[in-house]
Structure 1
């Protein structure tokens, strides 16, 4: 058996793991990153990036379809068709470039990359099954960055017509009838994209509204758009399993029992941390339910063992994992790095998009809320998408901004301004007095602050 030593060993090369590896290499830490799949984790390979590629292709197809009929812009074109196999190949090309880029960045930073399956022996030793045989690595510090996987329902196991988001992003043809179990952001993103590509889509959601982690005000424009796209949404409904011949989903809805004919059934009811199958349990770490418990250095209950990303709990977001990865590397290098983030942006790439940073209305007693609609924004009008709004939650005594939210076309790009405002402790006056370019969607942020101050200009 071959052996190696290092100061830092990272299991998993997803967003958290590879950022930790790059930052550690930059800091001169002898680092090894182990990954059994392609570098980039769920996000680059079967999550964030490929889903956004599918959404973009669907939006372009929907736009072309729109122009094939009468429209206000006076554009005329023939009815479009789509070759899904070619679309998927284009998506795969983007994924390949990005995953290859991750490997290159790790190498540039001086981190070693090992392709293989890790098995923890103890808190200082990991064995890796590689193509060249077994490799034993001794380390001073160990980072668990193994991510998460789609949650499977026992009465709807993956296989045959029942698919997870991973298989949905590899479809070579558009299913005629798609049923989505779960009205969260993953199901709605993929379901909306496939509806735009021509699928007849039905959504089953157990809660009384879609995207239940958000308030009705934010999700109402998304629900309206789903229905405008011809998507059937059943709320307060539960999937019960496949029909006897497997051609339909059995569900219990407010209208009674239904059998929904389905070529594919996409199950998106959540994700669970990958904590089994590689010896983690033998370390006896303190857990918070299914997640690894950590402190503000991302350290676990065992000295020298850290955990980052989805294995540590919600929010399961790539950018949170990246921030944690950098903190761990800097902490090991002796820097005073701790998790002291004021807010983590959350984005739903639905249609329209939703972005939230900070607290929601009503979460802080005494806070006030103001909203500015895109219907009063010139840029939104010229984009033919003036549905939605920007909203601010603030302390009425200090003017401190506590939360910023938006729903509308392209609002994901406002997430940086929202996060920066809260991270820097901005007040309403700070935002209102900042010159925003005209005509842009970002003007609505300034307008919302002005409205909160009783100084609204354009409404």
Structure 2
């Protein structure tokens, strides 16, 4: 039997940040993780997917440098060694996860590699493998229990993973590239990886039950992405559902909203229909916490319905974003140390790493309207931005949403090449309660994509300078 003040189950972004901050504050902390620290994000999600996307974009650029390239660059017959690409991606993952492990050790966090099973709100057993009672390594008593178990890909019951059907995790480490790939689900995961595979030379088809790609984003933001999808030659099957593979496993059976059925010949199928909270396999049911379906219900301090049991990140619901989990983990550690904190962010930015990228922070014009807020909004196109032109990336725009009465900014949206880097400016303006005049009066470096942020605010005030 061991004991600690804080016991954390799950070493993803939320769990490891909570552990590091708690240890910094002098709290005796133990972290249980069955795999490498870093969770989905560092190991099989955010980081490796962005590495693969970058490699695909660089390769695709080379294939576009022909004799008529406007940049005057000519390249003959570029090739890609996908095994070396995957090895490079894995090297990045290894450095980052190794760095997290070193930080945990430096700060005095006791890390146990194993599978946790909750006995009660104060006691957890650790086994060498899930469900292996015979190999229980130890039992740990704690004062506070923090659940940071993350999420996992949703598996279609009639199309289990295996053979030609893969998850987004498997798609990140291809041994060889398939000739053709069908992506089931045109949300951000499906679009990011589908476009990457297309740029690597794979014939990609997107299947989406709704009538457009990226249905969670407003239509204006999606238009430049849809244009890019069509330019890549990706086949779109909208308002379609999947029925499974045919008997030979050589084609995907589709059904339109009108009831027409067809078969799509394909070598591989990636299912990307979403993620669900990881709430099974570690004895959570023994706590009888208040749940909302498969999500643990928490308050604005991430407290569950049981005293001194906390939940953060994906297991505590949407938005399932690593940076949300990190912020929650830091907060919980500080609350346990005696500090006064609540999780009430003005904004949690979200980025879709397609090409062009999409970033949203705060309210869109439609969301503000539904909330009963009288707002003004204005956009500035990258086609009028000098830096975007020099990057040969002038599709897209920046849009600001602000209250009409006092010009308080309530939201930002952008679509374009590299706009993910604008998310920090967007979130800072919302957290600091900036008004249109604040952003419009701030000198932005020239030439930069950030000038579009200032110009959007100027345009909302009625005096844009460069459009």
Is the pair's TM-score, using the shorter chain for normalization, greater than 0.5? Answer: yes
Question: 1:116 maps to what in 2?
Answer: 114
The offset of 1:209, in angstroms, is 1.3
**Maintained 8 Å contact 1:11/1:146:** yes
Structure 1 gaps of 5+ residues are: none
Which of 439, 452, 455 matches 2:460?
A: 452
**Maintained 8 Å contact 2:125/2:136:** no
Structure 2 gaps of 5+ residues are: 130-134
Which of 347, 353, 356 matches 1:343?
A: 347
Q: What is the 5 A alignment of 1:127-146?
A: 127-130=125-128, 134-146=137-149
The offset of 1:332, in angstroms, is 0.2
**Maintained 8 Å contact 1:195/1:231:** yes
The offset of 1:56, in angstroms, is 0.6
Which of 71, 84, 88 matches 1:86?
A: 84
Deviations 1:404-432 (A, max 9, x none): 00000000000000000001111000000
Q: What is the 5 A alignment of 1:238-317?
A: 238-253=241-256, 256-317=260-321
**Maintained 8 Å contact 1:68/1:79:** no
SS at match of 1:110: coil
Question: 1:72 maps to what in 2?
Answer: 70
Which of 427, 430, 433 matches 1:425?
A: 433
Greater than 2 Å deviation, 4+ residue runs:
130-133, 253-258
How many residues in Structure 1 have an aligned counterpart in Structure 2? 457
Work out the CA distance in 2 between the residues paired with 1:324 and 1:9: 16
SS at match of 1:282: helix
Question: 2:385 maps to what in 1?
Answer: 377
Q: What is the 5 A alignment of 1:24-423?
A: 24-130=22-128, 134-253=137-256, 256-364=260-368, 365=372, 366-423=374-431
Work out the CA distance in 2 between the residues paired with 1:130 and 1:193: 37
The offset of 1:34, in angstroms, is 0.3
**Maintained 8 Å contact 1:375/1:386:** yes
The offset of 1:130, in angstroms, is 3.8
The offset of 1:69, in angstroms, is 4.4
The offset of 1:240, in angstroms, is 1.1
Greater shift, 71-80 or 403-412, is seen at 71-80
Question: 1:440 maps to what in 2?
Answer: 448
Work out the CA distance in 2 between the residues paired with 1:343 and 1:159: 39
Work out the CA distance in 1 between the residues paired with 2:382 and 2:237: 28
**Maintained 8 Å contact 2:9/2:116:** yes
**Maintained 8 Å contact 1:237/1:252:** yes
Work out the CA distance in 1 between the residues paired with 2:459 and 2:325: 35
Greater shift, 60-69 or 156-165, is seen at 60-69
Work out the CA distance in 2 between the residues paired with 1:65 and 1:405: 31
Greater shift, 365-374 or 377-386, is seen at 365-374
Deviations 1:321-370 (A, max 9, x none): 00000010000000001102111000000010000000111222321211
Work out the CA distance in 2 between the residues paired with 1:278 and 1:88: 32
SS at match of 2:366: coil
The offset of 1:28, in angstroms, is 0.6
Q: 1:69 to 1:152 in 2, by over 3 A?
A: farther
SS at match of 1:363: helix
Deviations 1:230-251 (A, max 9, x none): 0011111111111121101111
Question: 2:132 maps to what in 1?
Answer: none
**Maintained 8 Å contact 2:166/2:270:** yes
CA RMSD of aligned residues (A): 1.1
Work out the CA distance in 2 between the residues paired with 1:77 and 1:201: 24
SS at match of 1:356: strand
Work out the CA distance in 1 between the residues paired with 2:434 and 2:235: 41
The offset of 1:257, in angstroms, is 2.2
Q: 1:254 to 1:297 in 2, by over 3 A?
A: closer
Greater shift, 409-418 or 125-134, is seen at 125-134
Work out the CA distance in 2 between the residues paired with 1:383 and 1:156: 42
Work out the CA distance in 1 between the residues paired with 2:326 and 2:115: 22
SS at match of 1:303: coil
